[in-house]
Amino acid sequence: MVYGVGIVGTGLAAKLQAQAIAASEGVHLVSVLSRSGERAASFAAKHGCAGLSSPLEFFSDPRLQIVSICTPPGEHLRPALQAIAAGKHVLVEKPLEASLKGCDAIIAAARRGGVRTGGIFQSRFFEGARLVRKAIEEGRFGRLVLGQASVKWWRSQEYYDRGEWKSLEANGGGALMNQAIHAVDLLQWFMGPVESVQAAAGTLGHERLEVEDTAVAALRFANGSLGLIEASTAVHPGFRKRIEVCGTRGSAVLEEEDLKVWQFEPARPEDEEIRRAYAQRTRSGGGAADPAAIGLVGHRALLEDFAACLRENRPPLVDAAEARKAVALILAIYHSARTGRRVRLHPAEP
């Protein structure tokens, strides 16, 4: 079965989603919804779908089985609930919602409505990330000791001046919630739940900005390991997203979709093959300096998994409950940065 998808929003995230839908199996783009009829028509002409400005017309379309929410984070809740009320399955761009109350409202509504919901965390679908996760599950790292997520990106003052929605109310946060959330998601997916955080944040490289452009957080995970998160949009010229996982018997380092380090003791024959394969790859810059410079591989895999979950009647690999975890961690970091206190999230293992 090929599922019809409708996109809410016409910004950069919506454009990337439309391109990914066109390149994916099992889905096709039906329509786009925008408050502006002009923007909807322009988007529709470029991507070969219907352009609508009426929510009633959009959500009542029987050709539509999946709604992809690509609006600014502060505008996720209403269209998500409208889609669920209309009996549609829902994919939501990061973050799932800018508040835990909003996240929980989406999760509860979907449960009552009997529809599937998923978060768009495409980094989990990169082959390198899957290899790291598999090695953790197999115990190849030994005891996990350190985990680090580093997102040192560059966004110009003009980037922020162009977008009125880049405010605390509309976006729920800055460098952490808007840019680094994929790295935050991967780090907790690898290292497990975070027991507590101690953080600091500020606006250091931009003016007229309500949200942070730089933040750091020291983490203690529930399994006893330690971690660090660095996030910024004020670092010129911008560097690739980097995730480090270190244990007593092995370490791995991801830069965007590539494995830069893959070392274990004892080694396996396939380890050298993995290192050789990644050494030969052409590396992209991700979104380090240009938010549009994002590949579609992860988006395609996520969309195809979501279509498969509907056919197979199973949860998607990144369901709404999983997508909520990164929001909870980032909000805890913000609370710690505001108060100067350590914030607890989960109990430590006995």
Which CATH number does the domain housing residue 217 bear?
3.30.360.10
Residues 168 and 146 both lie in one domain: yes
Q: Are 188 and 182 in contact (CB under 8 A)?
A: no
Do the domain assignments include residue 303?
A: no
pLDDT at 288: 79
Reply yes or no on whether the pLDDT at 164 is more than 80. Answer: no
pLDDT interval class at 85 (50, 70, 90): very high
Residue range 9-31: average pLDDT? 97
Q: Are 307 and 3 in contact (CB under 8 A)?
A: yes
Q: Are 320 and 121 in contact (CB under 8 A)?
A: no
Domain end, chosen from 120, 155, 173, is at 120
pLDDT at 279: 83
pLDDT at 165: 60
Could you tell me the pTM of the whole model? 0.95
Residues 151 and 96 both lie in one domain: no
Q: How is residue 215 written in tokens? A: 């933040």
Residue range 212-229: average pLDDT? 98
| Percentage of the residues of the chain whose pLDDT score is greater than 70 | 97
Do the domain assignments include residue 97?
A: yes
Do the domain assignments include residue 136?
A: yes
Q: How is residue 186 written in tokens? A: 């991967």
Task: Residue 341: count other Cβ atoms within 10 Å of its Cβ.
Answer: 12
Residues 204 and 338 both lie in one domain: yes
Residues 93 and 230 both lie in one domain: no
Buried b (16+ CB within 10 A) or exposed e, 156-183: eeeebeeeeebbbebbbbbbbbbbbbbb
Task: For the chain, give the mean pLDDT.
Answer: 94
Do the domain assignments include residue 306?
A: no
Longest dimension (CA), the chain: 60
Residues 71 and 162 both lie in one domain: no
Residues 60 and 187 both lie in one domain: no
Residues 89 and 189 both lie in one domain: no
Domain end, chosen from 120, 150, 171, is at 120
The residue with greater pLDDT, 73 or 335, is 335
Residues 132 and 273 both lie in one domain: yes
Do the domain assignments include residue 187?
A: yes
pLDDT single digits (tens) 264-316: 999 999 999 999 999 876 555 677 777 767 778 999 999 999 999 999 999 99
The whole-angstrom separation of Cα 88 and Cα 225 is: 40
pLDDT single digits (tens) 42-56: 999 999 999 999 999
Do the domain assignments include residue 172?
A: yes
Q: How many domains does one find in the chain?
A: 2
Residues 129 and 98 both lie in one domain: no
Residue range 321-349: average pLDDT? 94
Domain range spanning residue 38?
Answer: 3-120
The whole-angstrom separation of Cα 151 and Cα 170 is: 22
Residue range 133-152: average pLDDT? 98
Residue range 74-91: average pLDDT? 97
Domain end, chosen from 120, 140, 171, is at 120
Do the domain assignments include residue 312?
A: no
Residues 239 and 207 both lie in one domain: yes
pLDDT interval class at 167 (50, 70, 90): confident
Residues 26 and 132 both lie in one domain: no
Among residues 72, 76, 71, the alpha carbon closest in space to that of 96 is found at 76
Residues 10 and 144 both lie in one domain: no
Do the domain assignments include residue 170?
A: yes
